A = this chain, B = another copy of it.
């Protein structure tokens, strides 16, 4: 990797010799090249280009370049096309080619491990989403099966996740009270799931994968941490067995609810069971983290906790002493829920809005999970294809009594550690959950609620990434502000508000940075033709008789152009009034280095014209150096280049050389 093959190398040396040996190309010629360069792509062409690039699948774009070998028979080619098409829609078909028994053994083990973690988590998350326990289990059956056929990630573990469950209950409790009318609430949840699936699939089909990018990394870190704390606080209900728990999710309401419950009668046994098993789970987690080979300890600890605690409650009949238990979990596989969708009710608009928010959060988590594990194993995930798979699994899920499923961070890590080879581990897990639903739900009757709370609590530390927050603070203060905004917004207002704050801050930051006005003085680096910021490179020397000012903004536009003009004028005038009277009445050249200016608008051009006029009053010539393609195009179009008599150069060095050449009337050296 560190060496190039010799044939390339020799070419390189030749190329290098040419440019080093030959006489440097005169500035006048490059300036001509610059002024005669073709028109840049218009803004619309760029937009269309980007849309084309994202909207047309890569395989389609590449096909025209590839010649179909004419010798192959038509029939075979059609057959092949169908196979390829099927494989593209259902990546699982690609497995068939080289799947071996040894691989299946790994997948089977990973799937069973996954199921042991998934069953208690699903029940807990369903509780967090204010649904009956069986709905969590349903969500661990159908969506993983659909995903297994359509998805392209090999490690991702599909099912209900904590953040989306919290988000759902936080948004939907305001529309429909889950305690007063659980049936209507459930119908609303399925409707929202349908909308989320439709949004996700259409984002994928319309190739709008970039939407997921609008949640910046910093925002996600803050959002996850805030959500984790809220989820933890929600578990107080199960841990303290509080009956009149608040329906709001923000910190203040929940803490008030907890404090209020202290004055009511409460049952210490719940806390004893919950906390002791929480300690057990955290120790298991610690062992699993410490020794990668013992990861299974942390993976099966939840199932062991459930079995043990259920046995203890069953034997001691602690439920008669105030220990809250799960009670009945409905037996049997997912019932059909098409008839429960409420597409013509008054709340359909709200359901669609909630669906959109949940869809984005679910996608963000799934794609982040999928990509991070794919990059470990060195393969690539097509975000748009993933979105289609996730969308379809949620659409089908909403018809079969599931709520929104996505890729779970904690379970995917377990799946990966358990050595899964393919998406088959998801199928194994789904079948195991199906078997549980069919035959073992009655054993969950005596499972204490506190144990579910402690299982969820034990998974939360993974969501709060303090190290990353510290890193963000160190690298970028404004990014940290977005992170903090999301965190506090989620904690003290609502999940949606936190997201809105984070997205708002992120975009405000872009605006602020883009219009941030700035100029810097540049100087020539010793023994080179490069001109650099004199503050960054103190060894750069000033060229006497020249003010060389670099505009330090990417945009020269209405919002910053006047400021930049004023600052340049001030530099010029202050130099004139300055202490150094010796050079006071000496005419100077002003080179404005526009290498940073990516775009200029009509206000920017007007300001340049004003600058030119004002400088003329001081007897100073304005020279433009290194304008970008778009900028030189606009300067040509508005005849500004003619007005400054073509003093536009490809680099600061050439601008300086040319000015000296002109001034001395000597041929430039």
The CA-CA distance from A562 to B214 in the complex, in Å, is: 11
For A610, list chain B residues within 8 Å (CB).
Answer: 375
CB closest residue in chain B, given A664: B9
Q: Does A517 contact B (CB under 8 A)?
A: yes
The CA-CA distance from A144 to B576 in the complex, in Å, is: 35
A411 CB → nearest B CB, Å: 23
Interface members, chain A 363-382 (any B CB < 8 Å): 375, 378, 380
For A559, list chain B residues within 8 Å (CB).
Answer: 210, 213-214, 216, 506, 510
Q: Does A50 contact B (CB under 8 A)?
A: yes
Given A2-B662, A479-B601, A601-B218, are A213 and B555 neighbors across the interface (CB < 8 Å)?
no
Q: In the complex, are the beta carbons of A669 and B12 less than 8 A apart?
A: no
CB closest residue in chain B, given A376: B613
Q: In the complex, are the beta carbons of B602 and A217 less than 8 A apart?
A: yes
CB closest residue in chain B, given A38: B536
The CA-CA distance from A657 to B17 in the complex, in Å, is: 11
CB closest residue in chain B, given A544: B11
Q: In the complex, are the beta carbons of B614 and A375 less than 8 A apart?
A: yes
The CA-CA distance from A210 to B37 in the complex, in Å, is: 35
Please tell me which one of the listed residues B58, B213, B479, B569 contacts residue A602 in the complex, with CB atoms under 8 A apart.
B479
CB closest residue in chain B, given A515: B510
**Segment touching B, from A194-202, A398-406, A523-531:** A523-531
Q: Does A533 contact B (CB under 8 A)?
A: yes
Q: Does A595 contact B (CB under 8 A)?
A: yes
A3, A24, A478, A601: which has the most chain B beta carbons within 10 Å? A601
Q: In the complex, are the beta carbons of A527 and B602 less than 8 A apart?
A: no
Q: In the complex, are the beta carbons of B602 and A545 less than 8 A apart?
A: no
CB closest residue in chain B, given A595: B595
The CA-CA distance from A555 to B598 in the complex, in Å, is: 11
Q: In the complex, are the beta carbons of B507 and A663 less than 8 A apart?
A: no
Give the size range of A's interface with the partner.
35 or more
Given A20-B669, A375-B613, A554-B514, are A476 and B601 neighbors across the interface (CB < 8 Å)?
yes
Given A1-B619, A527-B24, A536-B40, are A602 and B472 neighbors across the interface (CB < 8 Å)?
yes
For A581, list chain B residues within 8 Å (CB).
Answer: none
Given A15-B524, A33-B537, A669-B13, are A663 and B4 neighbors across the interface (CB < 8 Å)?
yes
CB closest residue in chain B, given A617: B378
Q: Does A46 contact B (CB under 8 A)?
A: yes
Interface members, chain A 194-230 (any B CB < 8 Å): 210, 213-219
For A599, list chain B residues within 8 Å (CB).
Answer: 513
A464 CB → nearest B CB, Å: 17
Q: In the complex, are the beta carbons of B539 and A33 less than 8 A apart?
A: yes
A36 CB → nearest B CB, Å: 10
Q: Does A586 contact B (CB under 8 A)?
A: yes
Interface members, chain A 550-578 (any B CB < 8 Å): 552-555, 557-563, 567, 569-570, 574, 577
Report 15 cross-chain contacts, Cβ distance below 8 Å, ordered by A residue. Answer: A1-B621, A4-B587, A4-B589, A16-B657, A19-B527, A37-B537, A213-B558, A216-B559, A217-B558, A378-B614, A380-B569, A383-B562, A513-B514, A514-B554, A533-B629
Residues in chain A within 8 A of chain B (CB atoms): 1-5, 8-9, 11-13, 15-20, 22-25, 30, 33, 37-38, 40, 42-44, 46-47, 50, 53-54, 58, 62, 65, 210, 213-219, 375, 378, 380, 383, 471-472, 474-479, 506-507, 509-511, 513-518, 524-530, 532-533, 535-539, 541, 543-545, 552-555, 557-563, 567, 569-570, 574, 577, 579, 586-587, 589, 595-596, 598-599, 601-603, 605-606, 610, 613-614, 616-617, 619-621, 628-629, 634, 637-638, 650-651, 656-657, 659-660, 662-665, 669
